[in-house]
Chains A and B, each alone.
Chain A
Amino acid sequence: RKEVEQDPGPFNVPEGATVAFNCTYSNSASQSFFWYRQDCRKEPKLLMSVYSSGNEDGRFTAQLNRASQYISLLIRDSKLSDSATYLCVVKNTGGFKTIFGAGTRLFVKA
């Protein structure tokens, strides 16, 4: 089993739709969680950190479920510009490991 797993997609949604991605992790000692976004042929860019209490940034909501060992990203009112690959990141302090998921591709269509 991979340490961090994501549904590769692609997710094809119309503008204005709500879409959600999940990411599961295998190490229960994982400490820090993030979502990154990567556009085609560009570098990954930090989208948001994921806190235990959940957090929201505009149309984006991230949640952490430690009991089930997954994090989620919810995008409301999708825009064409949201089309990208979304990478979840899990960090394990003890082993200094930073592990990226393979990413979920999202296409938002007019």
Chain B
Amino acid sequence: DAGVIQSPRHEVTEMGQEVTLRCKPISGHNSLFWYRQTMMRGLELLIYFNNNVPIDDSGMPEDRFSAKMPNASFSTLKIQPSEPRDSAVYFCASSLRPVGLAGDEQYFGPGTRLTVT
């Protein structure tokens, strides 16, 4: 079975450019999560969707970040304009059920390693 798919796997861009990260959750999973991981701050939840609706976006750092989930099989995380401090690994995860219900275990994609110079 295909797991969570993310693209690109690596992205190097210059400060000020727009960056779009993509995620395809596991088929049948209703919840999707975007995380950011850095050495300094660890793994941080950015946004959580359930049934394509954003439920919690309190972790989105600022207006430069936006996320969409137009359908059950696709989500994007966009950074515009990008800054060097955005350099991190961005993970997408999905779960069968919403947070707090049985079956809410999250399965992670391989991540996108973003470097902003």
A residues at B contact (CB < 8 Å): 31-32, 34, 42-46, 49, 87, 91-93, 95-103
In Å, the complex CA distance between A58 and B106 comes to 21
User: Which one, B11-19, B21-29, B72-80, B108-116, is touching chain A?
Assistant: B108-116
Given A95-B56, A97-B56, A100-B42, A46 and B99 contact (CB-CB distance below 8 Å) = no
Given A32-B100, A44-B91, A91-B99, A97 and B45 contact (CB-CB distance below 8 Å) = yes
Instruction: Let me know if A91 and B91 touch, CB within 8 A.
Output: no
Instruction: Let me know if A42 and B104 touch, CB within 8 A.
Output: no
In Å, the complex CA distance between A87 and B42 comes to 10
- In B1-48, the 8 Å CB interface with A consists of 33, 35, 42-45, 48
Q: Chain B, interface size: which category?
A: 20 to 34
- In B43-65, the 8 Å CB interface with A consists of 43-45, 48, 55-56
Instruction: Let me know if A87 and B43 touch, CB within 8 A.
Output: yes
Instruction: Let me know if B42 and A96 touch, CB within 8 A.
Output: no
Instruction: Let me know if B48 and A98 touch, CB within 8 A.
Output: yes
Given A98-B45, A100-B43, A43 and B111 contact (CB-CB distance below 8 Å) = yes
Can you name the residue of chain A whose Cβ is closest to the Cβ of B95?
Answer: A98
Contact of A43 among B45, B91, B100, B104 (CB under 8 A): B91
Q: Chain A residues with Cβ under 8 A from B104's Cβ?
A: 32, 91
In Å, the complex CA distance between A101 and B107 comes to 17
Given A91-B99, A98-B33, A98-B99, A43 and B43 contact (CB-CB distance below 8 Å) = no
